[in-house]
Amino acid sequence: MRQIVENAVSRGILKKIVYSQPRDKSVVRCEAKLFSSGKGVFLQFETFMSDGKAVHENVPEKQAADRAALIAERDFRRVNIITSAGECQIMVSKKGKTTVLNKIKEDLPAPKIPIKAHDGRRKYIIEEGAPCDFLYRLGVCDAEGGVFDKKRAKFRQINRFLEIVRDLFPKKPEGGLYILDLCCGKSYLSFALYYYLHDILGAEVEMIGADLKSDVIAYCSQVAKDCGFDGLKFICCDISEFVPARTPDLVVSLHACDTATDIVLATAVKTGAKNILSSPCCQHEMARQLPREDEELGFILSKPLFRERFAALATDALRLLMLEAEGYRADAVEFIDPEETPKNLLIRAVKGGGASAERALEYEKACKRLGIDPALARFLNK
Ligand SMILES: C[S@@+](CC[C@H](N)C(=O)[O-])C[C@H]1O[C@@H](n2cnc3c(N)ncnc32)[C@H](O)[C@@H]1O
């Protein structure tokens, strides 16, 4: 157990450890979570007692794994280590025999779990209350860095997005970066991305935002100029006609409607983009293509709401499968609290591992079974 906790802490993926089935009847259960304070990072054990009280113990990060293992061996018969890469369950029998069921994935990048500050406030990459020129110019905060109430969700979304980007670029990269934001709209993310990579990490960045709307492009170009973001340019075009100058280090796209997301993914794949972050938007294509009658799936497809949701889910699952077939390690993460927006899914893909004929076959079979011809396959001439 010590090793599992240590790995989860060092990968930054630990959500919590839950101890149950206590040996001592005066104890109900215990939960452990990481927090940060001015003195460093600690694992806090909160033990809930049967008299309703809770006892706290804060253990410095370096000793956390040892302590977590000791508490398991000594006080409880069941432990669940919950991480963003899966869960591990450890059972200890009355005779002391340990059974470990470890489903924590070691080989895939997993979302980092932000460590809360001791005052319960989340630590953001762009801190509230510190002046931030681009957020001020985009109307997210005032000149002192105070976030406007109506823009709070946007502020959280930007920061969450930057945390995901930080997983890909934790430190200044060796060479310059070539980055595309396709269907950039008002480009909050392009600005945030440029700010993080160029101003925080000190990287050399050439970033292009592309969108159909000329007024939005003119506005973004002016803001970039005013911010002194010299490496950030905007062009007005249909992204299906956009030809990247070279292999992008990262292609991002937030809420590109319906099959525009497929154009983004196809452009990224065709140019061998090293990383892709794409948050899909409304999906209509598959809902129209799915059969009206289906012996096995009729119970879903005959109900309009379920049909829509099934189509959206299958579209994104097939997008991941296609990316894997094309040689990417792909997964989907929740981008922001689903209560803030239902459009909270982010497809994350990192090039590596080579094309997979197995995945391609799986894709083909799924499409055949569903009777569909998805845009992504068409755009990739598959
Ligand atoms: C829902 S908005 C999202 C904008 C921005 N990424 C954001 O999240 O704030 C979708 C944007 O995609 C753009 N768009 C849709 N299809 C496009 C295409 N084929 N080429 C370029 N832009 C496109 C629209 O003009 C619009 O600005």
Residue 69 and residue 2 in contact, taking contact as beta carbons nearer than 8 Å = yes
Instruction: Output the tens digit of pLDDT for each of the chain's 382 residues.
Output: 889 999 999 999 999 999 999 998 888 899 999 988 777 899 999 998 887 777 888 899 999 999 999 999 889 999 999 999 999 999 988 777 889 999 999 877 788 888 887 655 566 889 887 889 999 999 999 988 888 888 988 898 899 899 999 989 999 999 999 999 999 998 888 899 999 999 999 999 999 999 999 999 999 999 999 999 999 999 999 999 999 999 999 999 999 998 999 999 999 999 999 999 999 988 889 999 999 899 999 999 999 999 999 999 999 999 999 999 999 999 998 876 655 566 679 999 999 989 999 999 999 999 999 999 999 999 999 8
Q: Contact 46/32 with Cβ under 8 angstroms?
A: yes
- 61-75 and 2-11 helices, crossing angle to 10°: 150
Gap from CA of 74 to ligand 1 centroid (Å): 56
Judged by DSSP in three states, 68 sits in: helix
Distance 181 CA to ligand 1 centre (A): 10
**Contact by Cβ (8 Å): 158, 189:** yes
Burial 125-151 (b: 16+ CB within 10 A, else e): bbebeeebbbbbebebbeeebebeeeb
Output the CATH code of domain 170-379: 3.40.50.150
Tell me the domain boundaries of the chain. Answer: 2-102, 170-379
193 strand-pairing partners:
none
3-state secondary structure (DSSP) of residue 102: strand
Q: Residue 37's pLDDT is what?
A: 78
Q: What is the 3-state secondary structure (H, E, C) of 305-316?
A: HHHHHHHHHHHH
Q: Looking at ligand 1, which residue's alpha carbon is closest to its atom 10?
A: 256
- CA 38–ligand 1 middle distance (angstroms): 42
What pLDDT is attached to residue 110? 84
Give 210's contacts (C-beta < 8 A, 6+ positions apart). Answer: 180, 181, 182, 183, 184, 234, 235, 236, 237, 239, 242
Q: What are phi and psi of 124, to 5 degrees?
A: -95, 160
Q: How far apart are CA 345 and CA 350, in angstroms?
A: 16
Question: What pLDDT, on a 0 to 100 scale, did the predictor assign at position 378?
Answer: 95
pLDDT at residue 153, rounded to an integer: 85
Our mutation pick for probing the ligand 1 site, out of 211, 213, 216, 343, counting the most ligand atoms within 8 A of Cβ, is 211
State the closest ligand 1 atom to the C-alpha of 181, by its place in the atom list counted from 1: 6
pLDDT, position 122: 62
pLDDT of residue 40: 84
Nearest atom in ligand 1 to the alpha carbon of residue 260 is 16
Beta-carbon-side half-sphere exposure of residue 231 (alpha carbons within 13 Å): 19
Mutate to test the pocket of ligand 1, among 154, 179, 193, 212 (most ligand atoms within 8 A of CB): 212
